[in-house]
Amino acid sequence: MLSLSDLPDLPAVPDTVKTTLSFAWTAYIAVLAVWIVLQKRSPLSTLGWILSMAWLPVLGFGVYYFFGPQRLRRQRVKRIRSHANLYAKSDFANLRALSDHAPQHLQQMGLLGRATCDIPVSTASDVRLLVGGAQTYKALFDAIRAARHHVHLEYYIFEPDKIGTALRDLLVEKARQGVKVRLLVDALGSKRLGRRFFAPLEAAGAGVGRFHDSRIGRRLRPVINFRTHRKIVVCDGEVGFTGGLNITDEEDERTRPDAYHDVHLRLEGNAVRWLQMVFLEDWVYATGERKRRTAEDFDRLLRPTVVGEHAVQIVASGPDSAYEAIHRMVLAAIHGAVRRVWITTPYFVPGSPALMALTSAALRGVDVRVMVPMRSDSRIVSAAARSYFDELIEAGAKVWEYEARMLHSKTMVFDDNCGVVGTANFDNRSFRLNYEICAFVYGPTLTVPLGAQFERDLRKSMRVEADRRLPAWQKLFDATARLFSPLL
């Protein structure tokens, strides 16, 4: 039987090789450390990434390359911005009368939005809250059928199911009528879509683009973590939509009784121009159409339409900006609230600034309410959310879990003078990593229907009590999930 002593001795590693390997390892760690430090993360996060790559060099580097960077260099299309800002003066002129009686902190929020995402407060002639897929899809299809010049759409999820096929067929019909159709979908969120599904649309002359297509054989770059979570539809520059609903049967109660509970927003008037601007920037960035010279003039696409009486500010944010516009606007609204802060979100994973803002508001007597789904489609996100409940409740906030269906609404109500509907969840991914868009509607226009909807949803929810008892394994799982909050 062969023993270890019978094995031949391995040749000794020369000292020069040891020295070279040691130097290479030190240089590797030093270069990676500099790279990570320059990302300007929190000290704890920076140290964590450096240690992970030191202990697991190959795996750590791969994970960081795709998921570590929090910022993305993206050249803004100055031509689009210049045409949009050309008409911004008209927005300010139309809002002088409104600003005279608006609370001071709302005027400051308007300035903050302009400074962080270069979009001023505008006006809308009509603001309509749409609840559920039946209302939303009917209004959406009606607006597309009425379009005469162009239809622009941007979605995170576009499924090749019943509602998705119906929308595609309608877009094919409009394209054949001579209406310019542009459809932009996120390559990851809409990964089930193949070329065959969109072939009739492209054959009809419509444009189809994929945002950050990182499939093997295409552009394998560290953009997989940066998705467009936006839902934007613009018809003729006059009617616009944004909100929580994607294009999927999962959101249509006409097809599925257990469809997600969600809301959307329909706008008319000048505010639609800013939805248009955000879409055009995303379209040009994703497809490069600017290089081929667009067939239409940006001036026509971004010209003001109907002046309205409702003050609306479109706020867009993404990893290409260091200002985190939506995050800052939400924090400003929470700090300025004196009566209520009502939040509905499917994913609640607040960072330290947002958690402190909410608990501070509750401690000073503001009615802080947070509604999340009881049964989420993401177990780890739901667990992370539960880990924050005790801190909120101890500060005086109230937390509800919606029982009826999967809650997918993303809404906020601040006092009686600011209502928000958009695509952003109340989590780090929406505030920092995804491309998101929200409509901040100042005044009672949106707070009244949003507040009423929140109270209706309360009847189908269970309040989370401070003295609830969770098993030890559940507490451990929730606390562990919280460690991944920066990526959720």
Boundary residue ending a domain (245, 275, 309): 309
Q: What does DSSP assign to residue 260?
A: P
With beta carbons less than 8 A apart as the criterion, state whether 254 and 133 touch: yes
Q: What does DSSP assign to residue 247?
A: B
Residues 38 and 94 in one domain: no
Boundary residue ending a domain (309, 336, 355): 309
How far is residue 309's CA from residue 254's CA, in Å, rounded to a whole number?
A: 34
Q: Quick check: is 327 catalytic? A: no
How far is residue 154's CA from residue 438's CA, in Å, rounded to a whole number?
A: 14
Ramachandran category for residue 238: left, alpha or beta (phi over 0 → left; psi -120 to 50 → alpha): alpha
Catalytic residue among 212, 327, 410, 457: 410
How far is residue 437's CA from residue 424's CA, in Å, rounded to a whole number?
A: 7
Q: What is the pLDDT of residue 88?
A: 54
Q: Per residue of the chain (488 residues), what is the pLDDT tens digit?
A: 555 455 555 566 576 766 776 777 677 667 666 656 666 555 645 655 555 555 556 555 555 555 555 555 555 555 455 545 555 555 555 455 445 546 777 888 988 999 999 999 999 999 999 999 999 999 999 999 999 999 999 999 999 999 999 999 999 999 999 999 999 999 998 988 888 999 999 999 999 999 987 654 445 455 667 889 999 999 999 999 999 999 999 999 998 989 999 999 999 999 999 999 999 999 998 888 765 555 455 666 776 666 788 999 999 999 888 899 999 999 999 999 999 999 999 999 998 999 999 999 999 999 999 999 998 877 888 888 888 999 999 999 999 999 999 999 999 999 999 999 999 999 988 998 899 999 999 999 999 999 999 999 999 999 998 767 777 777 777 777 777 666 55
Q: Does an H or E element contain 141, and which?
A: helix 132-146
Query: Would you say residue 386 lies in a domain?
Result: yes
Q: Does an H or E element contain 207, and which?
A: strand 207-211
Residues 94 and 55 in one domain: no
Query: Would you say residue 183 lies in a domain?
Result: yes
Instruction: Enumerate the H helices of 371-471 as residue ranges.
Output: 379-395, 428, 444-458
Q: What is the pLDDT of residue 288?
A: 81
What does the radius of gyration of the chain's CA atoms come to, in whole angstroms? 25
With beta carbons less than 8 A apart as the criterion, state whether 419 and 300 touch: no
Q: Quick check: is 231 catalytic? A: yes
Q: What is the pLDDT of residue 217?
A: 45
**b/e map of 436-446 (b: 16 or more CB within 10 Å)?**
bbbbbbbbebb
Backbone angles phi, psi at 110, to 5 degrees: -60, -40
Q: Quick check: is 262 catalytic? A: no
Q: What is the pLDDT of residue 370?
A: 98
Question: What pTM was estimated for this model as a whole?
Answer: 0.84
Q: Quick check: is 105 catalytic? A: no
Q: What is the pLDDT of residue 26?
A: 72
Pairing label, strands 207-211, 180-186: parallel
What tokens were used for 39?
């990302």
The residue range of the domain holding 382 is 325-487
Residues 49 and 189 in one domain: no
Q: What is the pLDDT of residue 376?
A: 82
What tokens were used for 227?
């998705």
Catalytic residue among 212, 310, 408, 457: 408
Q: Quick check: is 229 catalytic? A: yes
User: How far does CA 347 lie from the centroid of its chain?
Assistant: 11
Q: Round to the nearest angstrom and report the end-to-end CA distance of the chain.
A: 55
Catalytic residue among 118, 236, 282, 427: 236
Q: Quick check: is 40 catalytic? A: no
Catalytic residue among 231, 264, 310, 327: 231
Q: What is the pLDDT of residue 400?
A: 97
Pairing label, strands 418-422, 436-442: antiparallel
With beta carbons less than 8 A apart as the criterion, state whether 318 and 71 touch: no
Catalytic residue among 83, 105, 229, 264: 229
Q: Please enumerate in sequence order all residues whose Cβ is within 8 A of that of 346, keeping only pairs 6 or more positions apart, or say none.
A: 372, 373, 376, 377, 406, 407, 408, 409, 410, 425
Strands of 260-414 (E only): list them. Answer: 263-268, 310-317, 340-344, 348-349, 367-373, 398-402, 411-414
Residues 290 and 329 in one domain: no
Q: Which domain CATH number covers 215?
A: 3.30.870.10
Number of residues written out for the chain: 488
Query: Would you say residue 273 lies in a domain?
Result: yes
With beta carbons less than 8 A apart as the criterion, state whether 276 and 239 touch: no
> What residue type is 273 in one-letter code?
R
Residues 168 and 132 in one domain: yes
Boundary residue ending a domain (259, 274, 309): 309
What tokens were used for 40?
């300007």
Domain count, the chain: 3
Query: Would you say residue 240 lies in a domain?
Result: yes
How far is residue 181's CA from residue 190's CA, in Å, rounded to a whole number?
A: 18
Q: What is the pLDDT of residue 23?
A: 72
Residues 136 and 182 in one domain: yes
How far is residue 246's CA from residue 193's CA, in Å, rounded to a whole number?
A: 14
What tokens were used for 413?
């109500």
Query: Would you say residue 10 lies in a domain?
Result: no
Residues 48 and 93 in one domain: no
